[in-house]
A and B are shown apart, each in its own frame.
Chain A
Amino acid sequence: MKKKLLIGIGNEGRQDDGLGWAFLDQLPPSIEYDYDIEYRYQLQVEDAELIANYQEVYFIDADIRNFEQGYHFEKTKAIDQGSYTSHELSAESIVSLCQTIYHAYPKCYNVSISGYSFELAIGMTEKAKENLAHLLKNIKNIFE
C-alpha cells in the first residue's frame, strides 16, 4: 500500500480557489516524503477508490473561513452528505464512501487555507499567498 496522497482541490482560474493547487505546486523540494499528488476541480466518486490505496490522505482546499494562522488542519470525518448537483462531493463523503464500499480506512485530513476572493481571474490575493506561505513553512509539523 502506498503511503501518502495529497489532493489539491480548486481552480486556479478563480483567484484564491487556486490555493489547493498552489500548495502542490509550491511544496518545498526539501520535503522528501513518499507521497503522490493529484489535482482536482471537484472530488468525485471514483476518488473513494483512489484513496483506498493509501495509508494517509490530505485534502487541501481553499476555505472561506478566516483562520487565525491562515490555515486549519483537522481529521476528515466520515460523514454521509448529499447534494442536489453532481458538481460537488465533500471530502467527508469520499471518506465515508471509501469505508463503506472498499472497507478501507486511510487516515484522512482536511488542510484548509483561508481565501478571500473567488472571482473569475488568474492570481491569488496577497493575503491568501501569505496564508499559503505560512502553511508551507510549517508543513513538516503537519506531515509529521
Chain B
Amino acid sequence: MSQKIVIDPVTRVEGHGKVTIQVDDNNKVTDAKFHIVEFRGFERFIQGHPYWEAPVMVQRLCGICPVSHHLAAAKAIDQIVGIDPKDLSIPAQKLRKLLHFGQVFQSHALHFFYLASPDLLFGADAAPEKRNVVGVATAYPELAKKGILMRKFGQEIIKMVAGKKIHGIATIPGGVHKTVEDKERQFFLDGKNMPNVDTMIEWSVEIIDFIKKYHQQHRVFLDTFASYPSGHLGLVNKETGFLELYDGYLRATDAQGNITLNDIESEDYNDYFYESTEKWTYLKFPYLKHIGKEKGWNRVGPLARINVCDGIATPLAEKERKEFMEMTGGKTNNMTMYSHWARLIEILYAAEEMKHLLNDDDILSKDLIRKGERRKEGVGVIEAPRGTLIHHYEVDDKDRITRCNLIVSTTHNNEPMNQAVKWVAQNEISGKAKITEGMLNQVEIAIRAYDPCLSCATHAMGQMPLEVSIVDNQGIVIDRKYKE
C-alpha cells in the first residue's frame, strides 16, 4: 500500500507551505511536492484602483520585503507616466537604490542570523530547543548582537528614505517623494548613535569569513545537500553584465552556464516567460517559453544572481565572488546550500553600495521628479532579496488599473523548492516509515535556503505553522508531526 507524508499548514490564512511525500509499500519515495498556499488575490484586489496607489498598496503583500514590492510597482508606474528607468533624475535613482540596498541588507541579515545560522552552527540533528535564533544568541552572543544591529542598520536606512521602516512611501510616479537631509545621512556615517556603515562592511566580511571556515569543515554537506541541476535567472547591469539589483537586463543560464535568456529588456518578459498551473498548489510555475515547461524553469535569488552575473561592481564583494566561483572552477554552481554563502556576498555588496551612496551628495538634491507622456502599460522588474520580482500593470483612460500580473520571487522558486524537497525525500526520508524531528528539519533546511515569501502579513496567534503527516493512498493519516 502506498503512503503519503504530508507537511501541512493548518489554514490558508497563515500562508505556510505543505509538503506531501508519496511513498510505496516499502516506504520508498516515489514523488514529493511542495505546495504553497499563498493567497494571490492582490492581482484582482488592485483592479479598479488608480495607478498611483499601486506602489503603496502592493507593499501589503509582505511585512518583510515591502520595499521590493514598492520599488517594482514604482518602476512599472513610472512607465505609465512616461518615464523609463534611465529617464528618472539621477538623485531619484540614487535614493531608490539606497532604499533598495537597505532592504536587501536587512533582509539578508535577518535570513542569515535568524534562519541559516542555527542550522549551520548546530547542525540539522541538534535538539530543536537549541537549533534556533535564541540558541545562537546563547552560544554566540556577539554574533547575535551583530546580526540584530545589521538588521537594524538596514531598517534605519529604509526609514530615512521612506519615512517608516515598514510600508513607508518613498516613490511617486516619475520620482521620489523626498530627499535626504545631511544630518540624516550623518547618522549612518559618524557612528555616534549606532555602528556606522564602515562597521557594517567590516561585519559583513567577518560573516563571509565565518561561512568560508564552515565550508572547509562541512564541504560534503554543502556540496551535496539538496543539490540538483537547474537554470538560473537574474538581472545584470546593462553596460557591464555585473550583478544588478535595481534595474538591468534579464539574463538566464542553464545548469552548465550556457545562456538561455540573453539580456532582454525587462518589459519584454511576457514574450519569454509563461506560467503554468497545477491543481495541487495555488502557486504558478514560471518557465522560459522557448525551452519548455520541463526544463525552462529557473532558480532566482542570491545563488542565481551570482551565477548569471559577470562580476560585482564593488571591490570587496567582487573579491569574494571570485573566490566563490573558484569553488566550482568558475562554472555554474547548482548546490543549494551555497545560497547562504552567495547571500552573504550580497550583504557585503549592499553595505559597500550603501557607503558609496551615503557619501554621494546627489542624495541631498531636490531634483526628484520627471514627467513624460502617459502610457497604458508598465512593467517593473527588480531583484528582491529572494529573487527576480516582476510587476506588470495596465490602466484605462480613467487612470484605473485594469490588469495586474505579479511574478514574485517565490513563484520563480516554486519548481526549485520542489526539486529541493524531492532531494531530501529521496535521500533522507526514503525507506523510513516514521517522521522524525531530524527528517522534518531536513525538509525545512532545504526550504529555508530559499526563504520563501509566503502570504506572511497575517499571523494571528494560535495557528500551527507546520504539520507533518504520513498518509496512505486512501487518505488515512498513519503518522503526524507538528512544527510549532
Contact = CB atoms under 8 A, between A and B. Distances in A.
16 contacts: A40-B63, A42-B456, A44-B110, A45-B110, A45-B114, A45-B147, A46-B151, A82-B133, A85-B452, A87-B63, A88-B459, A89-B114, A101-B144, A101-B145, A112-B461, A118-B11
B272 interface: no
Given A11-B60, A62-B461, A80-B134, A45 B129 contact: no
A49 interface: yes
A81 interface: yes
B339 to A, nearest CB: 14
A93 interface: yes
Contacts, number: 146
Interface residues of B, number: 58
A110 interface: yes
A105 interface: no
Contact of A45 (B39, B60, B151): B151
Contacts of B128: 82
Contacts of B152: 46, 49
Given A13-B60, A46-B148, A64 B114 contact: no
Q: Is the interface of A mostly helix, strand, loop or mixed?
A: loop
A63 B155 contact: no
B460 A41 contact: no
Given A45-B148, A97-B134, A119-B13, 5 more contacts: A45-B147, A64-B460, A80-B130, A81-B132, A82-B133
Given A45-B148, A80-B134, A115-B460, A11 B63 contact: yes
A49 B134 contact: no
Contacts of B167: 41
A61 B460 contact: yes
A64 B13 CA distance: 11
Contacts of A119: 13, 39, 41
Contact of A110 (B132, B459, B461): B461
Interface of B: 11, 13, 15-16, 39, 41-42, 45, 60, 62-64, 107, 110-111, 113-115, 118, 128-135, 137-138, 141, 144-145, 147-148, 151-152, 155, 166-167, 444, 447-448, 451-454, 456-463, 465-466, 483-484
Contact of B483 (A46, A84, A112): A84
B462 A65 contact: yes
Interface string A60-92: 011111000000000000001111111111000
